[in-house]
C-alpha cells in the first residue's frame, strides 16, 4: 500500500518507469491476467460496485468476478444501486468483515471519505478503478483519462462538422469524475471553434434517460441541432432512438459521438448512425488482481495506472466488433 505522498514531478516519472518495468499495462480488451489459476487463493477481497444498470457496468462487474473466481479469491460483492450513501455503507461493512483489499469504483468524486477513513484506519488498501476521489486515501488508481476521452470526441466532431455547428450534450451522473472530466475535455477541444453547445442535460448514463432527455430537447430546438455528444454509449443509443422517432436521420442530419466503445456502439457506427465512440475499457479484472498480487509480494506499484484506449469510427469499428463488450 502506498503510504507516502509523492510530488507531482516524481510521481509522473515513477508512473512512466514502473509501467515500463513492472508490466502494469491494462488491456483494451478482455483477457486473463498473467497470474496462474488459484494464485491468490486465501485472499478475501471486497468489490463495492456503484451500480449495475448499464452495459459498461455489467461488463466491469463480470470482469472482476470472473478473474476473482479464476484466481481463487473470496470476493465480497455489493451493488450500491446508484446510491453514494449505500456505497459508503457497503465499504464500511467490508472493513468489518476483515477483507484484505477493497476494489472501489467511486460513484462520486466526493462523499466517500467516511468509507475511505474506515478502510485506512483498518489498514486495508483501497484500489480505485475507473474513477477517482478527492484526496489520496487510496493505494492505487486504475483508470482511463476522461479528459482525453472528451478531447478526442470533440476533435473528431469538429472535423466532421467542418469547424462549426450546434451541439447537444447528454451528461452522465452529476458529481462523477467521468462526467466532469469528459465534459471538460470536450469543452477544451471546441474552445475557439465555431462549434457551440446549445443544450446540456444529465441523462444518468442510461439508455432510457438518454432517449427521454433527447426527446425533450428535440421538441425544444430540433431544427437547430447539428450534433449530439453523449458521455457514454448507452445515452448515445437512446439519443439515436429519439432522433429516428422524430424523423431525424442520425449520421446524416445529426452527427452523434460518445464514449465507451461498446458492441452496440460499434454496431451503430457500422450502420452509419453513430459517428465515433472513444473507448473506455471496462475490463478491470485482470489488471486489478495483477496489481493486488504485486502489493501482496511487497512490490512497488505506480499510484496511477492508465488505460490506453482506442477511438472507434467507420475506419476500424468492424475489426474490433468481436472483442467489444
pLDDT single digits (tens) 14-34? 333 333 333 344 444 456 678
pLDDT for 10 equals: 34
Residue with C-alpha cell 466491469?
Answer: 60
- For each of the domains in the chain, give its residue range(s) and CATH number, in order of start: 8-143+283-309 (3.40.50.2300), 146-279 (3.40.50.2300)
Residue 154 Rama label (left phi>0; alpha psi -120 to 50; beta) = alpha
- Backbone angles phi and psi of 264, in degrees to 5: -60, -40
pLDDT for 25 equals: 40
- Which burial class, exposed, middle or buried, applies to 242 when counting CB atoms under 10 A from its CB (0-12, 13-18, 19+)? buried
Cβ contact 265:274 at 8 Å: yes
What is each CA distance from 90 to 21, 95, 97, 104, 128, in whole angstroms? 35, 9, 11, 10, 15
How far, in Å, CA of 274 to CA of 251, rounded? 6
- CA torsion angle 114 119 121 127 (round to 10): -120
pLDDT for 54 equals: 85
- Backbone angles phi and psi of 197, in degrees to 5: -85, 120
> What pLDDT, in 10s, does the model give residues 41-89?
999 999 999 999 888 999 999 999 999 999 999 999 999 999 999 999 9
Residue 29's SS3 state is coil
pLDDT for 30 equals: 52
pLDDT for 222 equals: 86
pLDDT for 269 equals: 98
pLDDT for 32 equals: 66
How far, in Å, CA of 202 to CA of 204, rounded? 6
Parts of the chain with a pLDDT under 70: 1-32
Amino acid at each position: 500500500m502506498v503510504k507516502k505522498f509523492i510530488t507531482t514531478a516524481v510521481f509522473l516519472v515513477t508512473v512512466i518507469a514502473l509501467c515500463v518495468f513492472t508490466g502494469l499495462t491494462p488491456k483494451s480488451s478482455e483477457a486473463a491476467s498473467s497470474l496462474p489459476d488459484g494464485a491468490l487463493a486465501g485472499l478475501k477481497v471486497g468489490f463495492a460496485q456503484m451500480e449495475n444498470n448499464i452495459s459498461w457496468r455489467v461488463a466491469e462487474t463480470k470482469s472482476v468476478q470472473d478473474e476473482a473466481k479464476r484466481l481463487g479469491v473470496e470476493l465480497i460483492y455489493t451493488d450500491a444501486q446508484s446510491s453514494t450513501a449505500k456505497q459508503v455503507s457497503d465499504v464500511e461493512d467490508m472493513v468489518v468483515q476483515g477483507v484484505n483489499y477493497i476494489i472501489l469504483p467511486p460513484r462520486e468524486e466526493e462523499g466517500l471519505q467516511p468509507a475511505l477513513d474506515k478502510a485506512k484506519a483498518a489498514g486495508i488498501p483501497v484500489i480505485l478503478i475507473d474513477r477517482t476521489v478527492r484526496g489520496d486515501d487510496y493505494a492505487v488508481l486504475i483508470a482511463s483519462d476522461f479528459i482525453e476521452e472528451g478531447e478526442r470526441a470533440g476533435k473528431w466532431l469538429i472535423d466532421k462538422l467542418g469547424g462549426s455547428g450546434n451541439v447537444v450534450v447528454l451528461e452522465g451522473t452529476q458529481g462523477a469524475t467521468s462526467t466532469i472530466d469528459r465534459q471538460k475535455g470536450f469543452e477544451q477541444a471546441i474552445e475557439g471553434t465555431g462549434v457551440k453547445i446549445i443544450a446540456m442535460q444529465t441523462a444518468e448514463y442510461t439508455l432510457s434517460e438518454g432517449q427521454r432527455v433527447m426527446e425533450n430537447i428535440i421538441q425544444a430546438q430540433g431544427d437547430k441541432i447539428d450534433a449530439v455528444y453523449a458521455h457514454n454509449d448507452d445515452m448515445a443509443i437512446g439519443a439515436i432512438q429519439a432522433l429516428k422517432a422524430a424523423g431525424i436521420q442520425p449520421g446524416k442530419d445529426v452527427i452523434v459521438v460518445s464514449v465507451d466503445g461498446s458492441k452496440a456502439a460499434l454496431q451503430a457506427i457500422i450502420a452509419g448512425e453513430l459517428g465515433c465512440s472513444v473507448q473506455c475499457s471496462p475490463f478491470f479484472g485482470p489488471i486489478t488482481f495483477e496489481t493486488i498480487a504485486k502489493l501482496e509480494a511487497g512490490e512497488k506499484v505506480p499510484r496511477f495506472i492508465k488505460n490506453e484506449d482506442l477511438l472507434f469510427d467507420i475506419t476500424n469499428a468492424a475489426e474490433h466488433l468481436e472483442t467489444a463488450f
